[in-house]
Structure formats: C-alpha cells, structure tokens
C-alpha cells in the first residue's frame, strides 16, 4: 500500500475531492473514529454497465456472454470502539445483476477485533484481508483508479490472527490465516487449514515504499481420494508464494506494482508447478476532479485440476491491459469508464480451457456515504 504522502499534490487533490472509505483503508491502522463518536458506519454503492466479447473468445473478460450486462453492488462497514484502544469492525457486501461473475452474492467479508496499544503493535483477530500482497488496501471502487482488479491473487478474507505496525521507515505484518492465496478459477476449492504469512516494507522517503510478503501451506482440499493424492495426505501438498510490491508518488503521478511467484506441489507430479504474475498501474491527476489511469498485467498462473486420478497442471499465460478515466462529480461521487483487453498465449496444454482473448468496456458510478455524518447533520438542523 502507498503510505500517505501529504506533501504530494496528487494525494492532496484526492483528499480534497474524494471521500475515501476509512475502514481498513490501511492494512495496519484500521478505522479512526469520529471525534465525537465511538461508532463509525460507512459504505459505497456501485452501479456498473458492461459490454464485452462473448465467452468463446474470453472466459476471463466475458460478462453475460457478451450481452449488455448491469451490475449493482452495495458495501457497508462499521466499527465500534468497545474499550480504549479496542475496536470491533465488520464489512458486508451484496452484489447482483447479469454482469456478475458468481450470480447473486451476499456475504460478511470481515468481522474482527483490533487492539492497538501503539503504532508499533496492532493486533487483529477474526476475518480480515489476506496478509499476502497489498492490493486489498485499494480494492474499493473509490480507491481503485480503474474498474477491474489484478487477476492473479484476488482479495480474500481468511480467518486468522495478525500482528502489524510501523516505526519510522519500517512496517510489518505477520500472522496465521486459514486460507491459501489462490485464484478460485485456477486451483481446486481449498479446505481451510492454518498457514503462516508475513509481510514487511520500508519507506526510505516520503512517497516511496518497497515491500514484500510470503506464505506457505496446503492449498488442496480433504475431498480428494487417496488414489488421487498418490496415497499422501492432502495437507502434504504445499503452495509457496513469494511477492514483492512497490508504491511511488511524485507530483500528480501515483504508481503501484506487485510481482509474485507461486510454487505448487501437485499429486503424481515429480516436480513443482511454478508460475508468476505481475502488474503495474498508474494514475495521473490532470485536474482536482479528473484523472487518467492504466494497469498492465502478465499472469502465468498455474491451472491445476484433477480429472479422476489424472492431474492437469499447466500455465494460463496471458496479458491484460486496462485504460480508464475518472471524474469526481462531488467529494463522494465518482464516475469511471474503462476499456480492457486480454491476450492469451494458446498452446496444446491450455487450448481446451481458454480462448484467444477479447475486450470489455465498462462504466461505473460509485457513491460513498457516511451514516454518522447524516446523523450529525440531522442533529445540528
């Protein structure tokens, strides 16, 4: 995550014109509550309209097989300061419409308790974003400069315990979580199992942060048979992911980048299946209300699946790019439009699963809200 740089004019413009959701906006410091309130309730309502290539060309970008596809999404998060330095927080999401990937969805994404004895030590326990990677801090539509998100390791919400903090130029996070960092479309659905995860970063000067993270643990599930697992326990097959990240801001320009390498042990396979992924995105603020952005991604993530006792372990191997513009109608209302394209490297190993690629056009309107501000305004009338 890009640490706050209040000397940066780009960040100054964003602070002036864009209401940023506060709950877990930072993976370390959590929700600062209103000065006169021990309660915080905020959220975002998103409306999207998608026009894409059909699913024969691109399963990745296609929405409703190429028909004009709407999406509606509502998110709400809240925090209560139960005791001094102790905050209980939660985050729920609803999504629906013909353009959704998984159909109608209602879920409790986060529910955790946070104890903050100091800036150097913050303790979270419950359900929260995965420790691996840093895109989770920018996942909300009012913080994401584009409409799409990086593909390789989507934001996940495992249960776990995490210690984090910062001191001068150094920040860290370390803990145990019960889910692997995987893409659900490329590997079998995992059974929950505890695994360690760590991350750290340095900020040598204002505007630049360099970091990394790592996790190791089982990624399969307990429904596979002994024959499918070559007589081994499902937990004996490990996934290891090493990731690096960088954020940089200067003037009106903000850059973010991540790269990760994953290694997967596959049953009936004498070698690990390795893959890598990376992305770079940038946002340039042209005026306080208007910005342009782009994201370039390469994903050579392994596709792993069992067909009877036979395991397929091959590479997805594709590029995708997104170009967009955004305009802030009000401090809490953001309009974005983007064009996205993907190109798949089709080979005999993946030809049965992928198409050559396609495109997607999207329009998104995001409205942020703050319930406590509504209550405060009503009181002062």
Which pLDDT belongs to residue 16? 32
- Reported as a pLDDT band with limits 50, 70 and 90, residue 380 is confident
Does residue 147 carry a pLDDT above 90?
Answer: yes
Q: Round the average pLDDT of the chain to a whole number and report it.
A: 89
231-265: buried (b, 16+ CB within 10 Å) or exposed (e) per residue? Answer: eeebeebbbbbbbbbbbbbeebebbbbbbbebbbb
Which pLDDT belongs to residue 322? 98
Mean pLDDT of 121-132: 97
* Fold observed for domain 9-380: Porin (2.40.160)
Q: What is the per-residue pLDDT across 15-66, written as a single tens digit (0 to 9) for each?
A: 333 333 333 334 333 444 444 578 999 999 999 999 999 988 888 899 998 9
235 dihedral zone (left: phi>0; alpha: psi -120 to 50; beta)? alpha
Does residue 131 carry a pLDDT above 80?
Answer: yes
3-class secondary-structure state, position 82:
strand
More confident residue, 60 or 118: 118
Q: List the one residue out of 296, 279, 299, 298 whose CA is nearest residue 340.
A: 296
Does residue 134 carry a pLDDT above 60?
Answer: yes
Give the whole-angstrom CA distance, residue 25 versus residue 172: 16
Domain boundaries, the chain: 9-380
Mean pLDDT of 281-308: 95
Which pLDDT belongs to residue 349? 67
Does residue 243 carry a pLDDT above 70?
Answer: yes
Q: Which residue has the tokens 């130029």?
A: 169
- Reported as a pLDDT band with limits 50, 70 and 90, residue 152 is confident
Give the whole-angstrom CA distance, residue 341 versus residue 52: 10
Cβ–Cβ < 8 Å for 120, 85? no
Does residue 241 carry a pLDDT above 50?
Answer: yes
For residue 320, what are its two tokens? 């995708």
- E strand spans, the chain: 39-52, 69-83, 86-96, 105-118, 121-127, 159-167, 170-177, 195-205, 208-218, 238-250, 253-264, 273-285, 290-300, 302-307, 310-315, 318-330, 333-344, 359-370
Cβ–Cβ < 8 Å for 216, 239? yes
Mean pLDDT of 90-115: 93
């Amino acid at each position: 995550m890009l640490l706050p740089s209040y000397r940066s004019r780009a960040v100054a413009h964003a602070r002036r014109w864009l209401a940023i959701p506060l709950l877990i906006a930072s993976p370390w410091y959590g929700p600062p509550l209103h000065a006169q309130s021990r309660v915080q309730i905020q959220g975002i309502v998103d409306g999207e309209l998608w026009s894409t290539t059909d699913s024969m060309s691109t399963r990745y970008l296609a929405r409703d097989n190429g028909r004009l596809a709407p999406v509606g999404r509502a998110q709400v998060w809240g925090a209560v300061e139960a005791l001094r330095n102790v905050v209980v927080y939660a985050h729920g999401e609803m999504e629906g419409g013909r353009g959704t990937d998984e159909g109608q969805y209602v879920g409790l994404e986060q529910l955790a308790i946070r104890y903050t004895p100091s800036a150097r030590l913050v303790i979270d326990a419950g359900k929260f974003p995965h420790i691996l990677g840093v895109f989770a801090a920018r996942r909300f539509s009012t913080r994401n400069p584009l409409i799409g998100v990086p593909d390789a390791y989507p934001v996940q919400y495992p249960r776990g315990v995490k210690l984090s903090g910062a001191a001068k130029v150094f920040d860290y996070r370390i803990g145990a979580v019960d889910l692997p960092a995987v893409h659900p479309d490329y590997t079998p659905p995992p059974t929950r199992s505890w695994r360690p995860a760590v991350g750290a970063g340095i900020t040598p000067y204002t505007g630049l942060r360099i970091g990394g993270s790592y996790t190791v643990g089982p990624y399969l599930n307990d429904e596979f048979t002994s024959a499918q697992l070559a007589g081994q326990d499902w937990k004996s097959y490990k996934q290891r992911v090493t990731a690096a990240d960088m954020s940089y801001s200067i003037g009106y320009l903000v850059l973010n980048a991540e790269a990760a390498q994953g290694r997967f042990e596959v049953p009936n396979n004498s070698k690990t299946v390795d893959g890598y992924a990376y992305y770079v995105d940038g946002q340039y603020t042209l005026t306080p209300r208007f910005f342009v952005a782009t994201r370039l991604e390469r994903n050579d993530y392994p596709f792993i699946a069992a067909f009877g006792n036979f395991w397929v372990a091959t590479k997805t191997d594709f590029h995708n790019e997104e170009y967009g513009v955004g305009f802030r109608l009000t401090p809490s209302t953001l309009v974005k439009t983007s064009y996205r394209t993907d190109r798949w490297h089709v080979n005999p190993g993946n030809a049965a699963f992928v198409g050559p690629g396609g495109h997607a056009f999207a329009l998104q309107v995001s409205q942020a809200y703050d319930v406590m501000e509504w209550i405060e305004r009503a009181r002062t009338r």
